[in-house]
């Protein structure tokens, strides 16, 4: 019976870690896309 809450805690930590990793990935891709747009506008403006 003691192993059931441990499994639930492990799943919660796993989901939190996956969500955090996805969030960081989305943030980094958004920042790189924003940088790409900035360079494109600078290149078009010059």
- For residue 44 the two structure tokens come to 């078009």
Q: Is the pLDDT of residue 1 over 90?
A: no
Question: What confidence tens digit (pLDDT) does each residue in 4-20 have?
Answer: 778 999 999 999 999 99
- Supply the pTM of this predicted model: 0.55
Res 34: pLDDT? 83
Res 15: pLDDT? 95
How far apart CA 33 and CA 46 sit, in angstroms, is 20
Phi, psi of 2 (to 5 degrees): -75, -20
Number of domains in the chain: 1
Q: Which domain holds residue 31?
A: 1-46
- For residue 9 the two structure tokens come to 């805690």
* CB-side neighbour CA atoms (13 Å) of 40: 6
């Amino acid at each position: 019976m003691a192993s059931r809450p441990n499994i639930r805690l492990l799943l919660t930590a796993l989901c939190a870690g996956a969500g955090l990793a996805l969030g960081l990935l989305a943030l980094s891709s958004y920042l790189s896309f924003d940088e790409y747009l900035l360079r494109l506008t600078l290149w078009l403006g010059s």
